[in-house]
Structure 1
């Protein structure tokens, strides 16, 4: 039988070996999901909310274990792992308080005696999730999806298989019916068969552009709804009146948190020339102060990437950009899975660090003459997750929201996901929205009922 091995990316130590689900085991899980859905969808929303509250308690009770598991499997600094678990608890609390309102029937006045919109769950939803936020990415899909009455199958990234199985156990220990949330220990080769199975009614993917195109193709082939949250190449605009003393920590965090492994990280720093020198001095100083070390140590602020091949890919993107004329201010050194925080200047539009997603601690700096030039450069991307602008004139910046096609526009703040606000992208960053009311309605049948006497 095939197996999956997990390793600690910081020291290379082997963590666990997991046996992949056989074809018969996958069939059993699909059948269980199908049978569980028939009863789960009939459960009153109050009962589902009670289970959510149980889940929040389970997550809180196991916070240290879950954080440690995350750090060991993908190298996230331990304080960031703990913060990720806290965010999952906040998400659960948000839907515990708002799900009933989000899902209640909407009465519509028409010529009918009665007409209304209701929201029926679709069934079993397949989630294909990445390793960079191994709990948050799954929870932001699963909590609204299950609360709406669906059941879920998770195909997680293989290097965080321990996290994937831990999530399933959390749902079971919280009292969710067996089959409501199941982890599939399998590889990408089985996804096409899963997508073609009648039990699977929809799919949600967070991942790369390449993976998104494949899943969209399979979803189209099988006429099944899909939600795609793909890569990003977010711009961070620094205007001449930006308060750098106030926001430089936020600006650095926007690139370097999670060791730079975030789709919504600031990757292109577009700086107006009148503030350029001040920005470079303060930004470089803060980046140099980041402490590399064992991710299990609480004073570590940046660590290795999740796999060595990811660091190799990042190194190649930077080297190709250097070959095209980019200048290294700091970094561009690799040791195994560790890639040193890197700052590049004299970046132009044809370079990989400008036009591609760089998944690691690399900041591409682009100097522009005017504010108009800054917005034009920010919009010059095939990606569309989010843009951030730092300025003292937030009112003027808010008038330029429509100039950027991205799914998010953040003024004096880094792009981030928040359960209270819808999250998603445009262009090759995907489609559909997670979180907020939009997230719980992502996988429902919006049904019209029209009644005459």
Structure 2
């Protein structure tokens, strides 16, 4: 039987080994999900909400333990791991408060005696999730999806297998039926067979464009719905009137949070010439204050990337950009999984730092002559997760809303997910929405009822 190994990226030590599930075990997991669904879908929403509240409380009680697990498996600074667990608790609270309203029948005025939309669960939903936010990515899917009456099977990233199993245990401890949320330990070769199984009714994936295309193709061949949250190449636009004193911390955090390993991170800083020098000065000074070190230390701001191969990939993208004319401003030292916070200037289209998603602590700085060019350059991308704009001219910023074709547009704030707002992308950043009411209705049958 194949084994899955988890490695601490900070010290390179083996954490644990897990046996992958056999074909028989995977079949049993699928069958259990289906049997459980037949009963779970009949539960009153109030009962599902009660369990969601249990889950929220459990996350808070265990946040120190769970945060340590995140940090050990993927290297995130412990204070960020704690914040991630707290955010998972908050998304449970949000859906506990709003589930009844979101799932209530919607009356429609027609010629009928009665007509309305009923929101019925689909069945078992497969979630394929990444390692960068190993709890949050799962909970923002699971909280609304299970509360809507579905069951779920999680295929997590192999390097966060401990997190995957801990999440399954949390649902059981909170009182959910055992087949409601299950983790399957397998490799990507088995995913196609799982998707093809009739028990799986839909698939959600957070991951790369490449993975998204593959999963969407398999699901499409089997006529199954997908929600895809893929890569991003977010622009952070700085106009000449931007309040750097107030927002420079936000700008740095937008790139360096989680060692830059975020699909919605600011990856291209597009700066109007009039403020370029001052921005670069303040941005550089602030990045130099970031404390690197042991991720278990609460004083650490940036520690390690999740795996050495991920750091190597970033270095290759940077080096290719340097060959094409980009310039190292600060940083660019790589040691195993650790990558020094880095600023690269003279970045233009045609370089990996401009065209591709850079999943690490590297800020690409792009100079433009004016506001119009900043919007044009920001839009020169095949990605579409989010755009940030920093300016004091809010009226002018509002005028650009229709020119930003991304899933989100944040003004004087970093792009981030919020349970109250729909989250997702356009173009090769994927389709469908998570969170808010849209996230709860992502995997339901919006059934029309007509009584004459």
The whole-number CA distance in structure 2 between the counterparts of 1:304 and 1:187 is: 25
The DSSP-based 3-state class of the residue aligned with 1:193 is helix
The DSSP-based 3-state class of the residue aligned with 2:35 is helix
The whole-number CA distance in structure 2 between the counterparts of 1:401 and 1:268 is: 19
* CA shift for structure 1 position 258: 0.4
The residue aligned with 2:273 is 273
The residue aligned with 2:69 is 69
The residue aligned with 1:147 is 147
Residue 37 (structure 1) aligned with residue 43 (structure 2): no
The whole-number CA distance in structure 2 between the counterparts of 1:340 and 1:221 is: 43
The DSSP-based 3-state class of the residue aligned with 2:132 is coil
The DSSP-based 3-state class of the residue aligned with 1:329 is strand
The residue aligned with 2:159 is 159
The residue aligned with 1:212 is 212
The whole-number CA distance in structure 2 between the counterparts of 1:56 and 1:314 is: 36
The residue aligned with 2:105 is 105
Task: List per-residue Cα deviations over 1:302-323 (Å, max 9, x = no partner).
Answer: 0110000000000000000000
The residue aligned with 1:189 is 189
The DSSP-based 3-state class of the residue aligned with 2:433 is coil
The residue aligned with 2:371 is 371
Residue 133 (structure 1) aligned with residue 133 (structure 2): yes
Structure 1: tracts of 5 or more residues without a match: none
The DSSP-based 3-state class of the residue aligned with 1:299 is coil
- After superposition, residues 281-430 of structure 1 pair within 5 angstroms as 281-430=281-430
* CA shift for structure 1 position 404: 1.0
The whole-number CA distance in structure 1 between the counterparts of 2:32 and 2:254 is: 42
* CA shift for structure 1 position 332: 1.1
* CA shift for structure 1 position 10: 0.4
Give TM-score, length-normalised by structure 2. Answer: 1.00
The residue aligned with 2:255 is 255
The whole-number CA distance in structure 1 between the counterparts of 2:231 and 2:155 is: 19
- After superposition, residues 425-436 of structure 1 pair within 5 angstroms as 425-436=425-436
The whole-number CA distance in structure 2 between the counterparts of 1:374 and 1:83 is: 33
Structure 2: tracts of 5 or more residues without a match: none
The residue aligned with 1:25 is 25
The DSSP-based 3-state class of the residue aligned with 1:242 is coil
* CA shift for structure 1 position 405: 0.5
The whole-number CA distance in structure 2 between the counterparts of 1:279 and 1:45 is: 51
The DSSP-based 3-state class of the residue aligned with 1:97 is helix
The DSSP-based 3-state class of the residue aligned with 1:297 is coil
The whole-number CA distance in structure 1 between the counterparts of 2:63 and 2:352 is: 38
List structure 1 segments (4+ residues) > 6 angstroms apart after TM superposition: none
The DSSP-based 3-state class of the residue aligned with 1:175 is coil
The whole-number CA distance in structure 2 between the counterparts of 1:61 and 1:185 is: 27
- After superposition, residues 218-257 of structure 1 pair within 5 angstroms as 218-257=218-257
Task: List per-residue Cα deviations over 1:236-279 (Å, max 9, x = no partner).
Answer: 00000000000000000000000100000000000000000000
Q: What value does the CA root-mean-square deviation take over the aligned residues?
A: 0.4
Task: List per-residue Cα deviations over 1:4-29 (Å, max 9, x = no partner).
Answer: 00010000010000011111110110
The whole-number CA distance in structure 2 between the counterparts of 1:129 and 1:396 is: 38
The whole-number CA distance in structure 2 between the counterparts of 1:121 and 1:297 is: 43
